[in-house]
């Protein structure tokens, strides 16, 4: 087959993930930094392609596995790769999942990649697999394509063709992208044999994107009702620590305590409390006196709230252990059915993937 045609690549929109991976940069500086990195990466990719000989793929789609030579023929002999397309696809999915630990907006890649539309081609001359799949900007719905070169002799040798920044240690985890917006957590299995489906919603309320993610939580709980059991898991990370350095530990913990206890009452009072909190939260310390007023005006039962607040710390400490068990590196993050990791924005994808009947 002739060399792969060069397809014009749309300039990707810069997406800034509203999580705690920005190193303290504001959105404007972070966006400019990412833009510079992407432009440099594209120049390097073009330079790389010009320095090496063109790749010649003997089969571009593998759409006819029943053909005499599924991967093409050279000098009358069928080409037989060391690894098959299923193995290569898994290697690619694990590599993409590794981007979750990259401290830039590239950490969104595992959750916006359309792995179900992945196309694989084999380069028989150079013994490489070419992997191509679309990624979709969740805001604009525009689509660009991401491509990888994978060494058939060693599937851990992977070169991202468009974006040259790769995960620092993608083989450290066996996690892989199972579906759009969903990462399968290695070594974990289902904990739900029937509805309700279990969701653990991990969040440090003082982490960027933490409070705003609660709108997704309440939307999920409202949409699926008794079919899902959404459990709010409060984390204490560097962002809460930063507040504690100036306001004191016990004062800082009040926000997490109120969120945890209001979620235990659930229903409309909880939704109302979250809505009030979202409207008033400015990314700064919120004193217990203010939170108490919000709880009262939201219709939360004061006796139940006071009783829960007195013991909330014990339960929240256990939630840190649960986060470690699932390898939660940042918040907000959602674990569905004890095995699928997603962002709050893609939690509905994880629910559908875990149980298509819901």
pLDDT, one tens digit per residue, over 297-314 is 999 999 999 999 999 988
Mean pLDDT over each residue of the chain, to the nearest integer:
78
With vertex at residue 301, the alpha carbon angle to CA 300 and CA 302, rounded to the nearest 5 degrees, is: 105
Candidate from 15-29, 247-261, 308-322, 344-358 with smallest mean pLDDT: 15-29
- The pTM (predicted TM-score) of the whole model is 0.64
**pLDDT on residue 296:** 93
Average pLDDT over residues 213-220: 93
Helix orientation angle between 267-280 and 288-297, rounded to the nearest 10 degrees: 130
Alpha helices in the chain (DSSP H): 27-51, 85-97, 109-112, 210-224, 238-247, 249-265, 267-280, 288-297, 302-309, 312-325, 347-354
Hey, which residues does 232 pair with through a beta bridge? 201
Average pLDDT over residues 338-349: 92
Other residues' Cβ atoms within 10 Å of the Cβ of residue 121: 21
Distance of alpha carbon 194 from alpha carbon 26, whole angstroms: 43
The answer on pLDDT for 110 being more than 60 is: yes
Q: Which is more confident, 121 or 64?
A: 121
Confidence of residue 354 (pLDDT cuts 50, 70, 90): very high
Residue 233 — φ and ψ, nearest 5°? -110, 115
pLDDT tens string 240-271: 989 999 999 989 999 999 999 999 998 999 99
Distance of alpha carbon 120 from alpha carbon 27, whole angstroms: 36
Q: Who's near 100: CB < 8 A, 6+ residues apart?
A: 107, 110, 175, 183, 329, 341
């Amino acid at each position: 087959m002739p060399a792969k045609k060069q397809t014009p690549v749309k300039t990707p929109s810069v997406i800034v993930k509203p999580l705690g991976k920005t190193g303290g940069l504001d959105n404007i500086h972070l966006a400019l930094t990412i833009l510079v990195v992407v432009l440099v990466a594209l120049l390097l990719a073009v330079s790389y392609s010009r320095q090496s000989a063109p790749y010649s793929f003997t089969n571009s789609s593998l759409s006819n596995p029943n053909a005499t030579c599924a991967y093409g023929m050279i000098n009358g002999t069928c080409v037989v790769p060391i690894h098959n397309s299923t193995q290569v696809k898994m290697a690619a999915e694990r590599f993409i999942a590794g981007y979750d630990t990259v401290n830039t907006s590239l950490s969104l890649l595992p959750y916006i990649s359309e792995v179900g539309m992945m196309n694989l081609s084999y380069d028989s001359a150079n013994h490489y697999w070419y992997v191509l799949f679309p990624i979709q900007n969740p805001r604009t719905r525009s689509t660009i394509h991401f491509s990888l070169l994978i060494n058939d002799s060693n599937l851990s040798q992977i070169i991202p063709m468009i974006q040259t920044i790769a995960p620092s240690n993608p083989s450290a985890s066996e996690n892989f992208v199972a579906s759009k917006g969903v990462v399968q957590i290695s070594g974990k299995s289902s904990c739900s044999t029937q509805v309700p489906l279990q969701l653990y919603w991990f969040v440090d309320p003082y982490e960027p994107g933490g409070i705003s993610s609660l709108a997704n939580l309440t939307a999920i709980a409202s949409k699926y009702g008794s079919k899902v059991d959404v459990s709010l898991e409060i984390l204490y990370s560097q962002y809460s620590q930063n507040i504690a350095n100036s306001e004191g530990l016990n004062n800082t913990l009040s926000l997490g305590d109120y969120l945890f206890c209001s979620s235990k009452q659930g229903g409309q009072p909880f939704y109302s409390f979250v809505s009030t909190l979202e409207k008033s939260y400015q990314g700064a310390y919120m004193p217990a006196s203010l939170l108490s007023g919000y709880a009262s005006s939201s219709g939360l039962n004061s006796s139940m709230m006071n009783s829960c607040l007195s013991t909330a710390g014990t339960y929240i400490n256990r939630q840190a252990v649960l986060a470690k068990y699932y390898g939660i590196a940042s918040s907000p993050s959602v674990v569905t059915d004890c095995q699928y990791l997603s962002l709050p924005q893609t939690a509905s994808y994880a629910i559908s993937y875990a149980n298509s009947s819901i």
